Structure 1
Amino acid sequence: MKTLTRALLGATALTGAAALASAQETTLTIATVNNGDMIRMQGLADDFTAQHPDIALEWVTLEENVLRQRVTQDIATSGGQFDIMTIGTYEVPIWANQDWLVALEGMPEDWNQEDFLPAIADGLSVDGTLYAAPFYGESSMVMYRTDLMEAAGLEMPEAPSWDFIKEAAAAMTDKEAEVYGICLRGKAGWGENMAFLTAMANSYGARWFDENWQPQFDSEAWAAALNDYLELLNNYGPPGAANNGFNENLALFQQGKCGMWIDATVAASFVTNPSDSTVADSVGFALAPDNGLGKRGNWLWAWSLAIPAGTDDEAAAKEFIAWATGQGYTELVAENEGWANVPPGTRTSLYENEEYLAAAPFAEMTLESINAADPTSPTVDPVPYTGVQFVAIPEFQGIGTAVGQQFSAALAGQMSAEQALQSAQQLTTREMTRAGYIE
């Protein structure tokens, strides 16, 4: 009897210990985008779990458009699937005003929030309170093959015009050798082709809405921008450009198939990394093009980590965010991957770091591009909205994607530019009327 009692007590003790261990371990589910910097973070996350053995990490890694849909649906319905979400400069202020995000208050002192670049932090804040931590920040710029530019007898200006881009794209194209003068986003999505096209259109004097929220796709400026975009890709772009987003164009550039690529500054470390890029030793950088109207075709963005309101693991989530967006993580990447590969565009101290500046030939151009983008005055003519490559209203996510589908269809040859613009004007007018912006 005593033996049985001791056995039962022992079993109870073991069960209790297991339950206690289970209760002490927290699992954070993190939704993130399948970009190179995020993949690298997952590979280095053992450093975090070694420091926090009571916190386990579960990753949900998604293509950009799918990520946007999943996290938006989850947070709008209080689904509770995720403890940490990777979201951008568009979502943060809108969701914070809906009380959907946890304010990043009470963070560790050594996280040093004051070190974040003002241009990046301001877009992630509401009334001075930060609601998401920037993992990396970006603008957009021209990345180009210096060898092909030289062979074409051209010299890339530091601040090129769209006319020069057209000339260079024609001169560098050699379709028999599968070298295309220019690669641009064609995949439909408000954060894919419309990020590029909206920024490009800004430099042409176009805008999404006038000061009374009337859509402007019937303007000459939008027609000029879209026609030039289609001409560039149809004449000098790779086959199937309507299916190419950031990752697809990155792969093409790394394989030596793009003479120029106008896209996110964050790509610079990937196109200059000899481990990934066949053209790493012949890449140059320039500011995004302009059209002589005072606005360049560059955007402003940060992929950031945020905590949805209602999570049961807020404290653990803040611990992870402090690790992933802190200066210690930057040093961890530098130690493992080299300074050129640290997440760019978030901290002032990075652009004062001589080791980084020496290792990253794109650093100064990145910072200049970020500081040149002005979300409060993104267009030549006045507008009632903020945002450079997006319009900071809740309805834009749906409208932007729908418009992007029209422009992608035009690129695929399924409709003319005129038809795509007419369709964009009609659907945007309909949705803005439904939402009450216009009568």
Structure 2
Amino acid sequence: MGLVATGCAGAGSFTDGGGDSVTIALVSNSQMTDAISLSHRFESENPGVKLRFVTLSENEARAKITASVSTGGGEFDVVMISNYETKMWAQNGWLVNLTPYMSADPDYDANDFIPTLKDALSYQGSMYSAPFYGESSFLMYNKKMFADAGVSLPAKPTWPQVAEAAKKLNRGKVSGICLRGKPGWGEVLAPLDTVINAFGGRWFDEKWNAQLTSPQVKDAVRFYVDTVRRYGEPGASSSGFQECGNLLSQGQTAMWYDATSAVSVLESPDTSTIAGNVGYAQAPSMAKGDNGWLYTWSLGIPSSSKKKDGAWKFIQWMTDKKYIKTVADQLGASHVPPGSRLSTYDLPAYKQVSQAFAEPTLSAMKAANQSKPSLEPVPYTGVQFLAIPEFQDLGTRVSQQISAAIAGQISVDDALTQSQTYAEAVGNTYKNER
């Protein structure tokens, strides 16, 4: 999709905020659309600040926001980024330190943020973006389908146990499992990287030697590709988060391993035929346990913004406890942005809708460790990504190889041999910096 400028500031170029208007770049996900629908409340409470929203698809958002912030373009006063960008951009001086703003308002309570998220968005002890919602990953499954087939899973399954269940439930038009296969470092590599971690693999050793042809990585990728090809959804090489969510919610697959944020789709009777009948299990293990990823969409202020105070007022509003309660009261508890604040899970309305998934979500998020994603030492941080600038390109290239293997166009060995070449080129640049 193209750029879509919305909000209360009237028509005009999104690069020309004018006056006291604050220009905000958001990813066009449902929770962000909810924020826009409630933004009139912010403007009534802050009559001196007008809002202009620029909503973009995820891929566009990354490209446009990165280009603007890295060059000091100044188009945006608030940007939606993640724990992939925050520390790197803070280190580069591209983001405003938000801790002084947070500390000036005792009601804001930054200590209420889930600790792993707070740490993931901090650099040298200060927060440089504020989490809007957070997620880890877990296994979701159709409880009725399992019961009817006489199949069960432990709360902490291993990947072979998941594959065996998928084999038993793979019947006719219903696939045993849905796993992402769509190219993209934020698509197929998100779940696959946690499988690599589980099998004891890693992208690089501590000296930046590429490890994508190691026995552990080969075993993990072969397992993933074989499982989705044998028991997975049709057209898996083009399936992403949305496609798998649709399949599970409509009773067309028995299981799905993906983001904890999927509960907003699966547990809503408006979008799901299995709402209230979804089971949740911990991210599957192998050599390593606690393999759930850690991700957050967060809000930061580019250093180039000329409206930093107004930008902070908006971030404060959209990431505050009071906003979460407002969403629950005005739009319903199923619309609450999950996984950012501990207090969210104490809201009576949210407790009621989240009984099945609140505990596994919080447990997964608290256990996720960006600093130690694998069994062996690594020179990078990140669970389902590598927090290095080169990963956007490296991950995309590798993901294309994996997706081709899922499509049956190349073998896993060939995919990893080519991927190893890409990784070696990146690793060599870091070796030369030592």
Q: TM exceeds 0.5?
A: yes
Could you tell me whether the CA contact under 8 Å between 2:115 and 2:366 is conserved in 1?
no
Query: CA separation in 2, counterparts of 1:172 and 1:186?
Result: 20
Using the alignment, how far apart are the partners of 2:166 and 2:254 within structure 1? 7
Distance (Å, rounded) in 2 between the aligned partners of 1:135 and 1:229: 31
Match of 1:270 among 265, 276, 279: 265
Q: Please give the alpha-carbon distance, in whole angstroms, between the structure 2 residues aligned to 1:37 and 1:153.
A: 37
Alpha-carbon separation, structure 2, partners of 1:434 and 1:24 = 43
Aligned residues: 415
Residue 388 of structure 1, aligned match among 360, 383, 386: 383
* Cα-to-partner distance string for 1:191-247 (whole Å, 9 max, x where unaligned): 221121111110011001111110101111111111111112212222222222222
Letter aligned with residue 360 of structure 2: M
Alignment correspondent of 1:5 = none
Q: Which whole-Å deviations, capped at 9, do the CAs of 1:172-208 have from their partners, x for residues lacking one? A: 2223xx3221112222222221121111110011001
Q: Report which stretch shifted further, 179-188 or 88-97.
A: 179-188
Q: Deviating runs (4+, > 3 A) in structure 1?
A: 22-25, 352-355, 434-439
- The worse-fitting range, judged by mean Cα deviation, of 162-171 and 103-112 is 103-112
> Which letter maps to 1:206?
G
Q: CA separation in 2, counterparts of 1:50 and 1:275?
A: 31
Matched, 1:215 2:210: yes
Q: Which residue of 2 aligns with 1:243?
A: 238
CA contact (8 A) 1:432 1:438 kept: no
Structure holding more helix per residue: 1
2:403 equivalent in structure 1 = 408
Rounded to whole Å, the distance in 2 between the matches of 1:231 and 1:438 is 38
Partner of 1:38 in structure 2? 32
Contact 2:135 2:365 in 1 (8 A): yes
Which residue does 1:279 correspond to in 2? 274
Q: For residue 392 of structure 1, what is the amino acid of its counterpart?
A: A
Counterpart position of 1:16: none
Q: Amino acid of the residue matched to residue 114 of structure 2?
A: L
Q: Which residue, out of 374, 379, 384, partners 2:369?
A: 374
Gaps of 5+ in 2: 1-15
Asked if structure 1 preserves the Cα contact closer than 8 Å seen for 2:245 and 2:262, the reply is: yes
- Measure the CA separation in 1 of the matches of 2:171 and 2:48: 56
Render the CA deviation track for 1:261-286: whole Å, top value 9, x for unaligned.
Answer: 11111111221111111111311111
Secondary structure of the residue that 2:22 maps to in structure 1? strand
Other structure's SS at 1:364 match: helix
SS at match of 1:351: helix
Instruction: State the one-letter code of the partner of 1:123.
Output: A
Map of 1:202 onto structure 2: 197
Paired position in structure 2 for 1:111:
108
What letter corresponds to residue 75 of structure 1 in structure 2? Answer: V
How well do the aligned residues superpose, as a CA RMSD in angstroms?
2.0
Alignment pair present for 1:359 and 2:349: no
Q: Does 1:331 align with 2:328?
A: no
Shift of 1:106: 2.0
Percent identical residues: 42
- Which of 113, 116, 127 is the matching residue for 1:130? 127
- Does the aligned pair in 2 maintain the 1:180–1:236 contact within 8 Å? yes
For residues 124-173 of structure 1, give each alpha carbon's deviation from its aligned partner in whole angstroms, at most 9, with x where no partner exists.
01111110000011110011100111122111211111111111112222
CA contact (8 A) 1:375 1:387 kept: yes
Partners of 1:225 and 1:436 in 2: CA distance: 26
Q: How many angstroms apart in 2 are the aligned matches of 1:284 and 1:205?
A: 27
List runs of 5+ in structure 1 lacking aligned partners: 1-21
Q: Normalised by the size of structure 1, how large is the TM-score?
A: 0.90
Q: What is the distance in 1 between the residues matched to 2:241 and 2:418? A: 25
Could you say if the C-alpha distance between residues 79 and 235 of structure 1 is closer, same or farther in structure 2, counting changes exceeding 3 Å? same
Structure 1 position 119, deviation (Å): 0.9
The alignment status of 1:318 with 2:338, answered yes or no, reads: no
In structure 1, give the amino acid aligned to 2:318. A
Q: Distance in 1 between matches of 2:22 and 2:432?
A: 39
Larger radius of gyration: 1
Structure 2 residue identity aligned to 1:208: W
Determine if contact 2:208/2:430 at 8 Å carries over to the other structure.
Answer: no
Residue 341 (structure 1) shift: 3.1
Tell me how far 1:350 sits from its aligned partner.
2.1
Normalising by structure 2, what TM-score? 0.91
Q: Which amino acid aligns with 1:117?
A: I
